[in-house]
Structure 1
């Protein structure tokens, strides 16, 4: 069985965060996954729950990591051949920002376009 796009994004986001030197390759992979999501829509790709208001467990962890990546790349885009602006925009559109204790960012739910 092939995992849905959400499972792939969650796994890649956690891998990006857990790697010692957060590789740009993981960011490129995430960019490609979000491009597929934007082009085909969640319904055709196994569903998408990362826009839910109350994320828990792995989805919450992945959402925190994805917004951390977006915050970082918004200020300092990577040298990798990737459209960092598109990835940042897609993360902001497709992923709820969970409340993170100690974070200055308020929670917000985004609706997928």
Structure 2
């Protein structure tokens, strides 16, 4: 038996994790997202095409919303 499992890219994983947080409001989703973004930051030279830098690019607005909402929360402290 053989299975193929699609693995999302880092950017897609960040969006999926933000959507999971928005629907569940679970602390583990924030922790996972922080870990993912920390790793991404440390290896940012490997992600030159990162599209989530601004609210106008990258994933569709409905998908970006939760991620930008989280960023705004962090900015407010």
Same fold (TM over 0.5): yes
CA deviation digits over 1:66-92, x for unaligned, max 9?
22223334446xxxxxxxxxxxxxxxx
- What RMSD, in angstroms, separates the aligned Cα atoms of the two structures? 2.7
- Structure 1 counterpart of 2:31, from 22, 28, 31: 28
- The DSSP-based 3-state class of the residue aligned with 2:8 is coil
Equivalent pairs counted in the alignment come to 72
Instruction: Could you tell me which runs of 5 or more consecutive residues in structure 1 were left unpaired when the two chains were aligned.
Output: 77-113
Task: Say whether 1:12 aligns with 2:17.
Answer: yes
Q: Structure 2-normalised TM-score?
A: 0.69
| Runs of 4+ off more than 6 Å | none
Residues 19-98 of structure 1 aligned to structure 2 (within 5 Å): 19=24, 22-41=25-44, 44=46, 47-51=49-53, 54-55=56-57, 58-75=59-76
- Unpaired segments of 5 or more residues in structure 2? 1-5
Choose between structure 1 and 2 for higher RCO, CA contacts under 8 A separated by at least 6 residues. Answer: 2
